[in-house]
Amino acid sequence: MQDILDLVEISDEKGVKLPKFVADSYDALPPTSGFGIIGDTIMSLMDEVSKLREEIKTLRDMRLSENSSMEDNVSIKETLLEIQLELTAMRKSTSNVSRSKKEETCEL
């Protein structure tokens, strides 16, 4: 063990960079290293994060759909208001025409 520490110390003094070894996944680490439990925990956390992302995406899509429905409702309400205004205007013009005809009839 001491020779490994000496090797690291000498390489640090000389500015030599030692290679770093990386595992592809936590399952690839040897079981004696103690990473088995940590790896399982990390994997379950990653699964949980993935599920949460899916839930957030679903909620976001639902919200966008609701916003679209609300915009449609506003558009429908605006159209109905325009129709009501046009009907009111038509009724007024119809009543004016009726009055004019009655006045003409009365004058004759």
Mean pLDDT of 77-102: 84
Residue-wise pLDDT for 79-91, tens only, equals 999 999 999 988 8
DSSP character string of 45-88? HHHHHHHHHHHHHHHHHHHHHHHHHHHHHHHHHHHHHHHHHHHH
Distances (CA, A) of 103 to 9, 33, 90, 94, 108: 115, 106, 20, 14, 9
What is the structure's pLDDT at 80?
93
What is the structure's pLDDT at 85?
93
pTM for the model stands at 0.40
Give residue limits of the domains in the chain.
2-107
Residue-wise pLDDT for 8-53, tens only, equals 889 889 988 877 766 666 666 566 656 667 777 888 899 999 999 9
